[in-house]
């Protein structure tokens, strides 16, 4: 049995809005095994981001206990939480959250800067993380000089560079086209194959299909929890790439014939 990495018991999160209380999470119990991949689904407002924020030690529950790697984080101070975050979790966001006038390399080095890693090691590890997402030749490009998919790969490299065991992603393919989504999911699946634990929030069933477990939230509660055999993103990517090549060839043929005819 793999060790339990995440353990939530009776988690509630209530936001105070003037005179009103918003019950975003109303008693969530959840265990996540090390090395698994899990998709969190549910309609808008069901509590996905709230749950991810608590899991990611960015926020504290109003009630309940949360243990990460066996350690109870409820009641920890902000700096203790930041410490756990730095060691345990790499984040990937929908909007990439890269610094714009900063090179890919510097963006990836950033978390290590906060950890006080020497400049030499920062460079070495950031280059390795960029290579792991296939961007070793884009280190000097600024975010605005990269495609959406490349920007998300830089963000994944940044999540990887600290070698945290957990990768958390909130709608990581939300801003990407289908083909680029497969590419990004392929990279995330590759990390799971290497032993990382992947927790991904998504609206899209075809993105959730790449995880080995899917939980569904409704009104702040888990209403469904199922295991599945994940689809292989690399295979899906190869298929759409092949289809595109066939379509490109057909188009080239058609253009040639049209040229001859005129």
Ligand X SMILES: Nc1ncnc2c1ncn2[C@@H]1O[C@H](COP(=O)(O)OP(=O)(O)OP(=O)(O)O)[C@@H](O)[C@H]1O
Beta strands in 140-220 (DSSP E): 166-170, 197-201, 213-218
| Rounded Cα–Cα distance for residues 258 and 209 (Å) | 42
- Closest-CB residue for Mg ion? 49
Give the separation between CA 184 and CA 173, rounded to whole angstroms: 7
> Which partner from the list ligand X, Mg ion, none does 17 bind, CB cut-off 5 to 8 Å by kind?
ligand X
Task: Tell me 176's DSSP state.
Answer: S
Angle in degrees, CA 103, 105, 107, rounded to 5: 70
User: Cβ of residue 223: shortest distance to Mg ion, in angstroms?
Assistant: 17
Shortest distance, CB of residue 253 to Mg ion, whole angstroms? Answer: 46
**Interface with ligand X (CB under 6 A), residue from 48, 122, 196, 213:** 48
Query: Among ligand X, Mg ion, none, what binds residue 90 when CB lies within 5 to 8 Å by partner kind?
Result: none
- Nearest-approach distance from CB 61 to Mg ion, in angstroms: 17
User: Is residue 143 near Mg ion by the rule CB under 5 A?
Assistant: no
Burial of 91 (0-12, 13-18, 19+ CB in 10 A): buried
Nearer to ligand X, 162 or 220 (CB): 220
Distance between CA atoms of residues 78 and 60, nearest Å: 10
Q: Select from 38-46, 109-117, 138-146, 207-215 the region that touches ligand X (CB under 6 A).
A: 38-46
- Among the residue ranges 48-56, 156-164, 176-184, 189-197, the one whose residues contact ligand X (CB under 6 A): 48-56
Q: Please report, as residue ranges, which positions from 2 to 31 form the binding site for ligand X (by CB under 6 A).
A: 15, 17, 22, 24
- 3-class DSSP state for residue 225? strand
Within positions 86 to 105, which residues make up the interface with ligand X, using CB under 6 A? none
* 49 touches Mg ion by CB under 5 A: yes
Cβ-based nearer residue to ligand X, 10 or 35: 10
Binding part of the chain for ligand X, among 27-35, 46-54, 126-134, 191-199 by CB under 6 A, reads 46-54
DSSP 196: -
Which residues is 199 bridged to in the sheet? 38, 168
> Segment 50-69, which members bind ligand X (CB under 6 A)?
50
As a whole number of angstroms, the distance between CA 42 and CA 200 comes to 12
Instruction: Look at residue 47 and give the partner it binds from ligand X, Mg ion, none, a contact being a CB closer than 5 to 8 Å depending on partner kind.
Output: ligand X
Closest to 147 in 3D by CA, of 110, 169, 179? 179
Q: Is the dihedral of CA 221, 223, 225, 230 positive or negative?
A: negative
Least separation in angstroms between residue 59's CB and ligand X is: 9
**By CB under 6 A, residue 44 contacts ligand X:** yes
Regarding 46 and contact with ligand X (CB under 6 A), the answer is: yes
Residue 47 lies near ligand X (rule: CB under 6 A) = yes
Closest approach of Cβ 203 to ligand X, in Å? Answer: 6
Nearest to 108 by CA among 84, 85, 88, 131: 131
- At 175 the three-state DSSP class reads coil
Closest to 88 in 3D by CA, of 63, 70, 107, 65: 70
**What does 86 interact with, of ligand X, Mg ion, none (CB < 5 to 8 A by kind)?**
none
């Amino acid at each position: 049995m793999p060790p339990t990495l995440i353990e939530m018991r009776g988690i509630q999160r209530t936001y105070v809005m003037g005179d009103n209380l918003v019950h975003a999470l109303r008693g969530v119990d959840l265990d996540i095994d090390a090395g698994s991949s899990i998709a969190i689904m549910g309609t808008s407002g069901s509590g996905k981001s709230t749950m991810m924020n608590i899991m990611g030690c960015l926020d504290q529950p109003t009630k309940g206990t949360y243990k990460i790697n066996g350690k109870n984080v409820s009641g920890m101070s902000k700096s203790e939480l930041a410490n756990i975050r730095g060691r345990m979790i790499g984040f990937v966001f929908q909007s990439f959250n890269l610094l714009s006038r900063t090179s890919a390399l510097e963006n990836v080095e950033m978390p290590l800067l906060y950890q006080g890693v020497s400049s030499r090691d920062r460079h070495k590890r950031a280059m390795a993380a960029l290579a792991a997402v296939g961007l070793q030749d884009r280190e000097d490009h600024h975010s605005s000089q990269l495609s959406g998919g490349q920007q998300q790969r830089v963000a994944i490299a940044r999540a990887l560079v600290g070698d945290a065991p957990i990768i958390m992603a909130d709608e990581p393919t939300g801003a990407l086209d289908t083909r680029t989504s497969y590419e990004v999911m392929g990279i995330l699946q590759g990390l799971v194959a290497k032993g990382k634990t992947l927790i991904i929030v998504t609206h899209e069933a075809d993105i959730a299909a790449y995880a080995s477990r899917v939980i569904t939230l409704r009104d702040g509660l888990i209403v469904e929890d199922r295991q599945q055999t994940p689809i292989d993103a690399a295979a899906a990517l190869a298929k759409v790439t092949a289809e595109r090549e066939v379509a490109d060839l057909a188009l080239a043929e058609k253009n040639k014939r049209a040229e001859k005819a005129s």
